[in-house]
Each structure stands twice: as structure tokens, then as C-alpha cells.
Amino acid sequence: MNSMAYFRIKGQQKLSGEISVTGAKNAALKFIAAALICDEPVTLTNMPNIEDVRRMLKLIATLGAEVTHDVDAHTVTIDPRPMSNFEITEDMAKSIRASIMLVGPLLVRFGKACIGYPGGCVIGRRPIDLYLKGYQRFGAEMKIMGDTFEFVSSNLHGMKFVFPIVSVVATETFLITASRAEGITILKNAAVEPEIIALAEFLNACGAKITGAGTPTITIEGVKALRGGTVAIIPDRIEAGTFVILGALTRSQIRVTNCIPEHLENILLHLEMIGASFEVGDTWIETKSYDHNLRALNIKTHEYPGFVTDLQAPFTVLLTQAVGSSLVHETIFEGRMFYTDLLNRMGAEIILCDPHRAIVEGPHELMGRKLESPDIRAGIAMVLAGLIAHGETIIGNIEQIDRGYEQIDTRLRALGADIIRVTDI
């Protein structure tokens, strides 16, 4: 990745046209992990060409899986049978946090797994205590050597796990591991995100016995083998929501296609409440131009089907353009609001009351500035802000944005945005 690359944006362009949503990053990574507990090759279609997917595929290839990635066809075939390595180094673990999911499949295949601490990222500490507890509950012995966790298990058995807090990837991790653990596993207070339902449907199509996915109680009966199969990754609801917010922000007519509007119902409800105009189809959402003021609105993030935390930063850019005071309450992560300082540098008026709460006064015109992208979602929020700001915005550290949004500059240019990717010579 070119670390000196940056986006140069000239704001205030009217946008229009159509933008197609890619497969969901937060489904793709889990389907890659799930492929490793199958006993035949798995083909994943509608795979997004993003950095996090490339990192996860590189990781499983290092473990010995055979990976065939047809980038142009957005298709990946994974054959887990040649896997021979059960060690995930600290560097590999740090390159992609979802690597923590792979301990389950490694225990299923080898009865052994080693992993370096995946580390946090800027949105918070990102602890892994639930994973360590869960793997031990499945019957693995755990040894900690410095920052490396070593797991050994003669045979994985079913268990009951009551989540003290809702955890999306931990729910998916235990769903996958339980599918090959002997006996019954019951997960309580499980996450209910759409990606979890899609994952359970895929595993059941391969012969797993999962019931209750999409509800807080999931029951899994382990099976001795799983077939392979082919499955399309569901559309990325976060990307879809980002583009709908972009349409509202630029007061443009943008048709967001190949999405599942039902998966972003709560965002659409908040867009309606703030006064944005849009129409909803079966697989598309079209924002409309409008000239009335946006109304201030309080938002509070919550696990699905609540207001999704991954769209908190993009939506806050919209709140800087609304008339009045809005309270933004980020309930899930403790480090996901520091980007508000960047918006203030652009001319917004945001008071960060504590790591979880900010008050946004609006409306304020934004001025182009030189910024760094803190993380995936705050990074795309800076792009949105740059697209409505007066003058030129430079955004560095764009590999963060490339982790979650495929060719985002090319796709936004197709809507009429004046954004170019500059790589150092």
C-alpha cells in the first residue's frame, strides 16, 4: 500500500447518477473464516475488492489454504484441505482484527492454534476477552506466552455462552466453531446483525445445524463434516448507508443500487426525521434534491436493528448542516468520536462532551482542510465532508478508507465528484 497516497477533493459539486453497492466487508471476512471448517472447496461471489479482504485471504493462504481470487469477477474460491499451518503470527493478527475468528477453524482442523494479540485500533481498545473465554468453553486449553495465545484441544465440545455484551464477530466466531464441535452449543444475548443470518444460512446449506440466527438465542448442533458450496456475499449495508447519506448531504439525486433497504431501515428513519428526501425500491434507494433546511436530531448508536455505529461518523457530517443542536451518543466504542476535532477544523461546531457523546451545532459551512483519515468510517466521513466543503480538502492515510470501500474515488467521480487519488512519485 502506498503510504504517501492521498485524496484531493474539490467540494460543492452537484452529484447525480447511480452507484452500485459492493458485497459487505463485514460478511466477506466471516465467510472466509467459515470456509475453513468445510471439507470441500467454497466459492464466494460478490466479494468486495477491498484491503481487509486481501489481508484475510493472504492470511489463510499462509495457513495453507488454496485461494483462487478472480478480482475482476469479484469471486474467490477457497480450498481448506491443504491447510498445514496453525500459527497466526502477531504481524498477521495485527493486519486484520478478524483473524481472531480463525482460532476456531484451526482447532477444528488441527486441535491446535497459536495467535498473536490482534491489537486494537483507533476506535477503541478492542479487547478479545470474550474469544478467549469462548474457546476455552469449547474445551481448548489456553496458554499465554507474552502476546501470543496458544490453544490446544483434543476434541471441541458444545457449550453454553451467555454474552455479557452483544458482540458481532464473537457471535459469528462461536457460530462457526460450534458447527464442528461435538454436541449442542447455545449462544444467549447473541448479536442479530443481517450478516449473522446470512452466515448461518450458508453454513446450513453446507450441512450445519444452526437455528435461531437473527435472534438473541442461537442453538447449534455440531456435525462431523461440512460440504462446500457457492454463495453470494450480501450487499454492504454500511456502504449503502454511506452513499444515501452522501446524497442527502449534497442534496443530489443519487440512486444507490444492489442493496437491501430493509438492512438500513433505522438509518432511513433518521434521514426522514432530519428532513432528507429519498425514495425506497426493492433493491435500491434514490435520494432526491431538496432546498429546505435539515432539522437537528439526536442519534444514539445501538446494536442491530438500532442506529448502526459504523454510520455514526458519516451521519454526524450531515448533522453539521442541520439547523439546531444535535446530540450524538456513541454507545458501543469509546474511541469513535475523535474525528469530530477534524470536522471542527473544517468549520463545524462540535463539543465533544466525553468519549461517547458530542453536541453538534448547525448549520455551519465547512471549509476544505488538510486532514488524515483516522479509521475506515471516520475516513469516509472526511471524504463526505470534503465533498460539501468550500475549496480543496486533502485526506491522507487513505489506505484506511481502502480497507472498507472499493475504488471509492473512481466510483465517486462517476457521480460527478471532483476527487482524485494522488500517489507520491
- Per rule CB under 6 A, is residue 167 in the interface with ligand EPZ? yes
121 noted as active-site residue: yes
Our CB check for ligand EPZ shows the closer of 252 and 266 to be: 266
- Per rule CB under 6 A, is residue 212 in the interface with ligand EPZ? no
70: cell is 478472480
- Per rule CB under 6 A, is residue 151 in the interface with ligand EPZ? no
Give the binding-site size for ligand EPZ (rule: CB under 6 A).
23
Distance CA(278)–CA(264), nearest Å, equals: 13
Q: Taking a C-beta distance cutoff of 8 angstroms, is the pair 126, 167 a contact?
A: no
Map residues 291-330 to x or -, x wherever contact with ligand EPZ holds by CB under 6 A: ------------------xx--------------------
Of the candidates 283, 284, 296, the residue with the CA atom closest to the CA atom of residue 327 = 296
197: cell is 443470518
CB of 363 to ligand EPZ, least distance (A): 27
Neighbours of 22 (CB within 10 A): 25
CB of 198 to ligand EPZ, least distance (A): 12
Q: Contact with ligand EPZ (CB under 6 A): which of 92, 337, 376, 395?
A: 376
Beta bridge partners of 9: 393, 419
- Per rule CB under 6 A, is residue 332 in the interface with ligand EPZ? yes
Show Cβ contacts of residue 133 under 8 Å, excluding neighbours closer than 6 positions: 161
Our CB check for ligand EPZ shows the closer of 70 and 262 to be: 262
Map residues 59-98 to x or -, x wherever contact with ligand EPZ holds by CB under 6 A: ---------------------------------------x
Please tell me what DSSP assigns to residue 234.
P
Which three-class secondary structure state does DSSP give residue 386? helix
What secondary structure does DSSP assign to 276-337, as a single string? --EEE-SSEEEE----SPEEP--EEB-STTSB-GGGHHHHHHHHTTEEEEEEEE--S-SSS-
Q: Exactly one of 38, 114, 121, 206 is catalytic; which is it? A: 121
Map residues 233-272 to x or -, x wherever contact with ligand EPZ holds by CB under 6 A: ----------------------------------------
- Per rule CB under 6 A, is residue 124 in the interface with ligand EPZ? yes
Neighbours of 183 (CB within 10 A): 12
Catalytic annotation, residues: 121
Binding-site ranges for ligand EPZ (CB under 6 A): 25-26, 29, 98, 124, 126-131, 165, 167-170, 309-310, 332-333, 376-377, 404
